[in-house]
C-alpha cells in the first residue's frame, strides 16, 4: 500500500481549508503548545507591520488538539507556499482521536530561529498587536477569533487562545 500523507492543522488549517483532502479527523499532537509568537508578513500583516499567527512551541507535558487531513502528496506544493513565512515541515506521530489510531503525519512549525519569529509577550500586548494588524488575507483579529471559534467547535479549551480572545474582545469594546 502507498504511504499515507496526513497533515496536522493547529491554526488556520483548522478552519481555512483551501486544499483537497480525502479524510478529516480530530487529532492530538503530544509535546507541543500552540502560541501566537510567529510574525505574519504575508497573510495577517505586512513586511512593515507584521501580524501574529500561531506556531508550536515544545512543551513536554502539552497535548495540542487540531485536525488531521489525509491528502494526496501533491497538496504539499500548495501548503509549502502557504506556510512559507518561516515555517518548516516536521514529521511526527499523531493520534486520530475518534479512530483511536496513531499515524505518521506532517506539521508545519515556525521555530524561534526564523527571521519572522516575534516571541512571547503578555496577553494584553499580544492582543493589542493582533488588534491593529491587517494583511492580504484579512485582519489579524479575524484570524484569532476564527481560530478560537474553530477550537470551541472541536471541544478544545486552549488557555492561550481563550485569554487572547478575551483581551481582544475587551479592546474592541473599549
Q: Which of 83, 156, 165, 167 is catalytic?
A: 83
Expressed in angstroms, the distance from the first to the final Cα of the chain is 57
- Residue 25 catalytic? no
Q: What is the DSSP string of 69-123?
A: EEE-TTHHHHHHHHTTTT-EEEEEEEEETTTTEEEEEEEEE--TTSTTB-----H
* Structural contact between residues 54 and 35, judged by C-beta atoms closer than 8 angstroms: yes
**67: number of Cβ within 10 Å:** 20
Q: Give the distance from CA 6 to its chain's centroid.
A: 16
Catalytic residues: 83
Amino acid at each position: 500500500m502507498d504511504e499515507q500523507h496526513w497533515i496536522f492543522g493547529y491554526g488556520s488549517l483548522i478552519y481555512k481549508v483551501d486544499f483537497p483532502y480525502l479524510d478529516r479527523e480530530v487529532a492530538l499532537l503530544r509535546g507541543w503548545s500552540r502560541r501566537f509568537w510567529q510574525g505574519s508578513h504575508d497573510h495577517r500583516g505586512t513586511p512593515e507591520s507584521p501580524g501574529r499567527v500561531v506556531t508550536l512551541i515544545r512543551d513536554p507535558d502539552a497535548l495540542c488538539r487540531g485536525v488531521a487531513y489525509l491528502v494526496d502528496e501533491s497538496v504539499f506544493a500548495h501548503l509549502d507556499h502557504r506556510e512559507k513565512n518561516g515555517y518548516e515541515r516536521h514529521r511526527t506521530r499523531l493520534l486520530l482521536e475518534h479512530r483511536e489510531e496513531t499515524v505518521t503525519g506532517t506539521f508545519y512549525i515556525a521555530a524561534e530561529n526564523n527571521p519572522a519569529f516575534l516571541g512571547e509577550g503578555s496577553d494584553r500586548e499580544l492582543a493589542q498587536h493582533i488588534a491593529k494588524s491587517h494583511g492580504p488575507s484579512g485582519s489579524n483579529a479575524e484570524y484569532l477569533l476564527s481560530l478560537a471559534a474553530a477550537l470551541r467547535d472541536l471541544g478544545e479549551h486552549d488557555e492561550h487562545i481563550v485569554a487572547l480572545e478575551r483581551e481582544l474582545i475587551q479592546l474592541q469594546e473599549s
